[in-house]
Structure 1
Amino acid sequence: MTLVPFQGSLLAQTREWTNLHDDELRRRAVKAAGEKDVAALVSLTTAYLAHQGGSGVLTSPRTTEAYALGVRQFLEYATEQAVNLLRPGRHDAQSYINHMLAAGRKPAGVQLKVAAASCLYRALRWAGATDADPFRDARVPKDRTPGIVKRPPYSEDELADVLDHADVHVKFLLFVTAHAGLRISEALALQWDDVDEAGRRLHVRSGKGRKARLVAMSTSLARAARHYRGLYGPGGPDHQDGKRTTPREYVFRYGHMMTARYHVEKAFKAAGVPFRGFHPGRKYAGTRLLRQIKDFGRVAAHLGHESVDTTRKGYAQLAADDLKDDLAGW
């Protein structure tokens, strides 16, 4: 019997494996590993992640997709190099890491791929298919370059140029990411009741780690929110297809991050500004706020970071000569 990948909810997909008797679970896992059956091994890893992972069935779709991609890439390498998945050699895991580094991948990216491959092996051990733990002693070199240097924020001029070429939807999305500092997933999850223009705050109901928080709006964002609600909010005209339609539950019309990216990239291209993803917008918010209030803790709270170190290393940076005014009277 061939295991067909299930595309339903995480709980349903997990049950495709957990409903099996232990002997059958082991048999299928051994067979999938022996044949390097990509679809089955991705399904097994996803089931393990949703059943035994830290977030269980609440694991975010982005995390699931990232692990699935990492497993597929490891299996591609394992196939090319004839790696025995159930009985890997003692150098196989480190060789995979060195292969990625030699190909030009950055250590941070390699670490993510290793996390996915390690999860595959945890899933195989969970299924009883192997005792192998090849990545236990494997090492990825640390990248000493701060994240904000590797991937800096958008500049004031870059954002201003893009806003000049953006439609109403893209413009409001940019304000939400670059002023409120929301992750793109948090922005696309906003509902109309979460936007309080009068109180100048946004309610993020399920941020990273399923944490809720209230986020202050800038004056420009509150103004943009009022304008956007007037056009697309409950009771306002929606000009899609030239017709007035029932307002959507969600603030943004983009159903998926890739759809949002497509429309935002068009505005960046029209402005002649390279699009480097949504995170540089968050970094703009963090850096601008830090230079204004000089308090990493408050900036971390604004961005929804659990650790101030995350903010310090990757999202906010003081100017090199930040202390000159404080030292002026010395």
Structure 2
Amino acid sequence: MPERIPEDQNLTLDLYRGDLLALTKLWTGLHDDELKRRAVKAAGEKDITALVSLTTAYLGHAGGSGVLTSPHTVLAYERGVRQFLTWATNQAVGLLRPGRHDAQSYVNALLAAGRAPSGVSLRVAAASCLYRALRWAGATEARPFEDVRVPKDPTPGLVKRPPYTEDDLHDVLKVADGQARFLILLISHAGLRISEALALKWPDIDEAARRLTVTSGKGRKARIVAMSTSLARASRDYRAIYGPGGTEQTDGQRTTTLDHVFRFSDTETARYHIVKAFKLGGVKFRGFHPGRKYAGTKLLTQIKDFGRVAAHLGHESVDTTRKGYAALPVDDLKSDLSGW
């Protein structure tokens, strides 16, 4: 018997603890007429919880990655859909029959509020996904975001969010505990995304060969990443304490070590540990990405090859690396031209 959504069920979304397939089935288990009826009702009432749930079900069932869509992506769309629906409610926008100028008005409102074009583009993507979900449910044929225009941001990503400096990392690493030091080096030397670092398992790391295997990269792509000497040593030290057969003690008992390298798996807990290290080092924490940008910029300065840097960072396109993660010094050709 297919699963049904009770009329009074509160469709709360807890994607880190929930199951995307199960949430998808709440909607796909409905008869087409009932699916349409509930989607129309939710849109008419601007029921944010139900519409977020519908959008997530669409992502899990008919989105590009289906049930393999990452929690980070799903949560980003959740935030974007909520923000659009809040604006639409305040502006009395009819969701099923939006006005010709409503979508562009939303974009303009975000820009006027000081949102960066890149952030506006993400919110447009979320709102567009909401409408794909409504069309999927048969509730509307509206495509209000197809022709909206978001201006390009002329400021390079490295200028808006520059990498950490050598001194920044030196000051932090000298005071960080073993766990924070290892995580920081995974990001700033191996260039791992925080999600990739937290997904590492002990068999993925080979300190002797100075390489690690990322098995859960963006787009579910695996890659081999070279480890710096400092990272390999930090990994060895960390493994001695927390790895299989390590020496960590809890209440006089040896703690059972799980396969995963880190004892936490969510970004917020990782942020808590890293922020402590940055505060001790007297450095402002600006997120995890400036660490990846440090890896990209330092490596590019050494090897001057965008393709190899892109491979190290796990970028599918060299343009991604060039635009936001690595840049050569403005006087990079000075030594090459000195003999002219």
1:272 Cα offset (Å)? 1.6
Structure 2 residue matching 1:165: 3-state secondary structure: coil
In structure 1, what residue type is equivalent to 2:124?
V
Structure 2 residue matching 1:326: 3-state secondary structure: helix
In structure 1, what residue type is equivalent to 2:31?
H
Q: Are the aligned partners of 1:192 and 1:233 in contact in 2 as well (CA < 8 Å)?
A: yes
Match for residue 83 of structure 1? 93
Match for residue 141 of structure 1? 151
Question: Structure 1 unaligned runs (5+)?
Answer: none
Match for residue 38 of structure 1? 48
- 2:296 corresponds to 1:286: yes
In structure 1, what residue type is equivalent to 2:10?
V
Match for residue 119 of structure 1? 129
Distance 1:150 1:116 in 2: 23
Per the alignment, do residues 162 and 240 of structure 1 end up closer, same or farther by CA in structure 2, a change over 3 Å counting?
farther
Q: Are the aligned partners of 1:238 and 1:247 in contact in 2 as well (CA < 8 Å)?
A: no
Moved over 3 A (4+): 239-243
- 2:8 corresponds to 1:2: yes
Q: Are the aligned partners of 2:199 and 2:265 in contact in 1 as well (CA < 8 Å)?
A: no
Q: Are the aligned partners of 1:175 and 1:221 in contact in 2 as well (CA < 8 Å)?
A: yes
Distance 1:53 1:240 in 2: 44
Q: How does 1:99-248 map to 2 (within 5 A)?
A: 99-240=109-250, 243-248=253-258
In structure 2, what residue type is equivalent to 1:307?
S
Distance 2:182 2:131 in 1: 43
Distance 2:218 2:251 in 1: 35
Distance 1:239 1:5 in 2: 42
1:254 Cα offset (Å)? 2.0
In structure 1, what residue type is equivalent to 2:211?
R
Question: Structure 2 unaligned runs (5+)?
Answer: 1-6
Alpha-carbon displacement from aligned partner over 1:177-209 (angstroms, at most 9, x marks no partner): 000000000000000000100010011011000
Q: 2:328 aligns with which of 310, 318, 329?
A: 318
> Aligned residue pairs: how many?
330
Per the alignment, do residues 46 and 271 of structure 1 end up closer, same or farther by CA in structure 2, a change over 3 Å counting?
same
Q: 1:264 aligns with which of 263, 266, 274?
A: 274
Distance 1:149 1:243 in 2: 50
Distance 1:252 1:47 in 2: 30
Q: Are the aligned partners of 2:278 and 2:284 in contact in 1 as well (CA < 8 Å)?
A: yes
In structure 2, what residue type is equivalent to 1:209?
G
Structure 2 residue matching 1:209: 3-state secondary structure: helix
Structure 1 residue matching 2:335: 3-state secondary structure: coil
Match for residue 13 of structure 1? 23
Match for residue 47 of structure 1? 57
Give the TM-score, by structure 2 length. Answer: 0.95
Instruction: Report percent identity of matched pairs.
Output: 73
In structure 1, what residue type is equivalent to 2:186?
V
Distance 1:16 1:243 in 2: 44
Match for residue 58 of structure 1? 68
Give the TM-score, by structure 1 length. Answer: 0.98
Alpha-carbon displacement from aligned partner over 1:144-172 (angstroms, at most 9, x marks no partner): 21111111100000011111221111000
1:239 Cα offset (Å)? 3.8
RMSD (CA atoms): 1.1
In structure 2, what residue type is equivalent to 1:247?
T
Distance 1:230 1:159 in 2: 24
